[in-house]
């Protein structure tokens, strides 16, 4: 059955694109940057009942290349364009079509062809060119009012070569995306040679002969979850899966059935931004400071997943649909994977009589994987039988490479093969967590552990307590992790009360975090200012969706969280949104080459006084031969 939060289907996208064409908004140099579901308000959702008519709205972000203008159109699915407004002075995320056109222009450029010839490359088809947004200053003489990309390049000596083994150093172009004009060919001249040690990783290039015996996941009775459209029911969890062209995988309306009563935990959870600041001064790294979500709309690059490879066991897949720059709709089959995993033991105790109770932990997994040029990002959400929720990003793929003089010191990169450098960089994620703990309103507390003052309260010097601080306003709620006080944050609902009269809550448990190495005054520091706190909180506003603002492309900075929170709004008893910044600092190892094994980063949400006791106590013992 259809639901207002269902992602836009292929038919709906077609229909919306047709409306945009009919209105003259999508033709010629008028391109579609993004097509998203305009999600209904919470009030509208509360009022909606299954079977009610669905007035589905789509939000189209359009780029008019002639007028150099972003337009936002609200389109009623099946009902035509309802509203159009101009958004002057900003650029949309870069389009796949833009990148294709830029690369074509570069391939035809005589200056580039000559520069390659000076490096001994006479066949342009052997050159892999990528189109990247500027994460640093646009060079003097280039008009930053134009929509630009710069293009690093790599050599592909054989058709199936790993191109990242062969960076072409000291040669880049800058392209105007609208005129498709190559504005500048930057040739540093005396550059390090192209590293020529191959980076083989395909099975037919490596021995790939380390084998284990088969491991089969058998669920003879099928999985323990049921799926109705985009609604999922597993164990005592109820939720809806969503998908967005910009953010990718989204979770909606996450609930847990407690003693027969569905209790809400989250309204909407997503990874609202992902930025990768590079720390090396080589232009090939320094300029690459991509917002993979806000500048590249990573949802478009969602993989089709393969059974037995990406996901193992009894899998249920969901297909998603996306629209490209020209309004062509494409279905990505098997884009979202749902399955169950055995996750070791949930709990165990052997008592004084020798009696043993033990429970297996089963977890529900919903995941998707995107490929953004050299990197893969897996977004994995886990639901546990004790009421916990986990998000884990899985980072894999190939490190960005530049070339250097073999053996020469490189302060900000690892030499992974002779002359092949992997620059230091960070992967910084920002989750947008619209938690509704037993609905709204909610408030935010910080909890820290601290020793009690020496004296009667702490005679032995070993007593400690917790201190709770209400983060009452947005300026209070700009916080960093602190392992020295076991700091955590909890979202509380003061009404209803927990079973002993305290507020019900979920806490955010940070996992791997990092701290930005870029100066706040740098171009990337200004543009991704959200990365200078691990936690932010705001009252929920529909138009406050992305922590670096809606249009980070070539934006000078200051948008998003820093801008909104300057109002210093109250966070007490409001519809609260948490923003959690986490990620990794990647100092590449030779073992990250030629493809890096999965690196993990993420966080957990755990109930605190939400349930009377461990909900995992009610889990049945394993059946069969466990004794």
- Which spans of this chain sit near Ni ion (rule: CB under 5 A)? 586
Minimum CB–partner distance for residue 426 and Ni ion (Å): 8
C-alpha closest to that of 429 among 598, 270, 582:
582
Is 585 within 8 Å of 517 (Cβ atoms)?
yes
Rg for the chain, CA atoms, rounded: 26
Minimum CB–partner distance for residue 219 and Ni ion (Å): 35
Residue with tokens 């900075």: 557
Q: Which is nearer to Ni ion, 154 or 506 (CB)?
A: 154
Query: What's the CA gap between 335 and 7, in Å, rounded?
Result: 13
Q: Which is nearer to Ni ion, 63 or 379 (CB)?
A: 379
Kind of pairing between the strands at 171-176 and 181-187: antiparallel
Minimum CB–partner distance for residue 527 and Ni ion (Å): 19
Q: Which residues of 368-384 are buried (b: 16+ CB within 10 A; e: fewer)?
A: bbbebbbbbbbbbbbbb
Minimum CB–partner distance for residue 379 and Ni ion (Å): 16
Minimum CB–partner distance for residue 514 and Ni ion (Å): 11
The region that residue 309 occupies, defined by phi over 0 for left and psi between -120 and 50 for alpha, beta otherwise, is alpha
Query: What's the CA gap between 376 and 357, in Å, rounded?
Result: 41
Is 21 within 8 Å of 245 (Cβ atoms)?
no
Minimum CB–partner distance for residue 599 and Ni ion (Å): 7
Q: Which of 164, 278, 375, 488 is catalytic?
A: 375
Q: Which of 6, 178, 244, 292 is catalytic?
A: 292
Which residue minimizes CB distance to Ni ion?
586
488 given a catalytic annotation: no
Query: What's the CA gap between 610 and 504, in Å, rounded?
Result: 4
DSSP secondary structure string for all residues of 542-607: TT---TT-S--TT--S--SHHHHHTT--B-TTB-EEEEEEEEEEE---GGG-SSEEEEEEEEEEEE
Is 431 within 8 Å of 270 (Cβ atoms)?
yes
Q: Which is nearer to Ni ion, 126 or 512 (CB)?
A: 512
Task: Give the count of beta carbons closer than 10 Å to the beta carbon of residue 386.
Answer: 17
Q: Which is nearer to Ni ion, 71 or 586 (CB)?
A: 586
Minimum CB–partner distance for residue 433 and Ni ion (Å): 24
377 given a catalytic annotation: no
CA distances from 464 to 220, 459, 460 (A): 51, 11, 11
HSE of 276 in the Cβ direction (CA atoms, 13 Å)?
A: 25
| Residues labelled catalytic | 292, 375
């Amino acid at each position: 059955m259809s639901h207002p939060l269902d992602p836009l289907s292929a038919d709906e996208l077609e229909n919306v694109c047709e409306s945009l064409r009919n209105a003259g908004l999508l033709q010629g140099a008028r391109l579609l940057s993004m097509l998203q579901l305009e999600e209904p308000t919470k009030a509208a959702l509360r009022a909606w009942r299954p079977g009610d008519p669905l007035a589905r709205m789509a939000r189209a972000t359009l780029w008019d290349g002639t007028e150099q203008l972003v337009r936002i159109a609200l389109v009623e699915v099946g009902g035509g364009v309802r509203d159009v407004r101009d958004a002057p002075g900003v650029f949309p995320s870069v389009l796949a079509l833009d990148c294709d056109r830029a690369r074509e222009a570069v391939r035809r450029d005589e200056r580039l062809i000559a520069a390659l010839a000076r490096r001994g490359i006479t066949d342009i088809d052997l050159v892999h060119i990528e189109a990247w947004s500027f994460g640093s200053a646009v060079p003097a003489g280039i008009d930053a009012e134009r929509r630009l990309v710069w293009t690093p390049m790599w050599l592909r000596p054989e058709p199936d070569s790993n191109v990242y083994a062969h960076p072409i150093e000291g040669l880049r172009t800058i392209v105007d995306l609208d005129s498709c004009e190559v504005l500048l060919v930057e040739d540093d001249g005396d550059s390090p040679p192209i590293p020529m040690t191959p980076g083989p990783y395909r099975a037919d290039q490596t021995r790939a002969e380390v084998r284990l015996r088969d491991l089969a996941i058998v669920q003879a009775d099928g999985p323990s979850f049921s799926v109705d459209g985009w609604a999922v029911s597993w164990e005592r969890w109820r939720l809806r899966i969503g998908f967005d062209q910009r953010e990718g995988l989204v979770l909606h309306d996450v609930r847990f059935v407690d003693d027969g009563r569905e209790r809400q935990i989250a309204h909407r959870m997503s990874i609202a931004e992902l930025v990768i600041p590079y720390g090396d001064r080589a232009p090939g790294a320094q300029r690459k400071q991509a917002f993979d979500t806000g500048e590249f709309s990573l949802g478009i690059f969602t993989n089709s997943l393969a059974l037995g490879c990406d996901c193992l066991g009894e899998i249920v897949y969901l297909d998603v649909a996306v629209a490209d720059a020209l309004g062509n709709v494409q279905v990505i089959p098997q884009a979202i994977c749902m399955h169950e995993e055995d996750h070791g033991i949930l709990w165990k105790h052997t008592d004084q009589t020798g009696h043993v109770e033990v429970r297996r932990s089963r977890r529900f997994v919903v995941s998707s994987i995107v490929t953004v040029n050299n990197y893969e990002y897996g977004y994995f959400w886990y639901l546990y039988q004790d009421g916990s929720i986990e998000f884990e990003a899985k980072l894999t793929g190939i490190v960005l490479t530049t070339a250097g003089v073999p053996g020469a010191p490189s302060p900000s990169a690892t030499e992974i093969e002779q002359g092949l450098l992997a620059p230091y960089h960070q992967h910084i994620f920002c989750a947008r967590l619209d938690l509704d703990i037993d609905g709204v309103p909610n408030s935010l507390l910080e909890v820290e552990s601290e020793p009690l003052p020496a004296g009667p309260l702490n005679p032995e010097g070993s007593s400690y307590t917790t201190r709770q601080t209400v983060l009452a306003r947005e300026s209070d709620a700009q916080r960093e992790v602190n392992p020295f006080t076991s700091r955590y944050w909890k979202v509380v609902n003061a009404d209803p009360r927990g079973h002993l009269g305290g507020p019900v809550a979920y806490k955010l448990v940070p996992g791997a975090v990092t701290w930005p190495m870029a100066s706040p005054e740098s171009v990337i520091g200004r543009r991704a200012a959200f990365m200078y706190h691990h936690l932010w909180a705001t009252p929920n506003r529909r138009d406050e969706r992305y922590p670096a603002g809606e249009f980070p492309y070539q934006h000078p900075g200051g948008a998003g969280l820093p801008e909104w929170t300057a109002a210093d709004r109250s966070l007490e008893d409001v519809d609260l949104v948490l923003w959690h910044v986490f990620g990794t600092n990647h100092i590449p190892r030779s073992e990250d080459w030629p493809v890096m094994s999965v690196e993990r980063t993420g966080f957990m949400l755990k109930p605190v006084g939400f349930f009377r006791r461990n909900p995992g106590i009610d889990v049945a013992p394993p059946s069969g031969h466990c004794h």
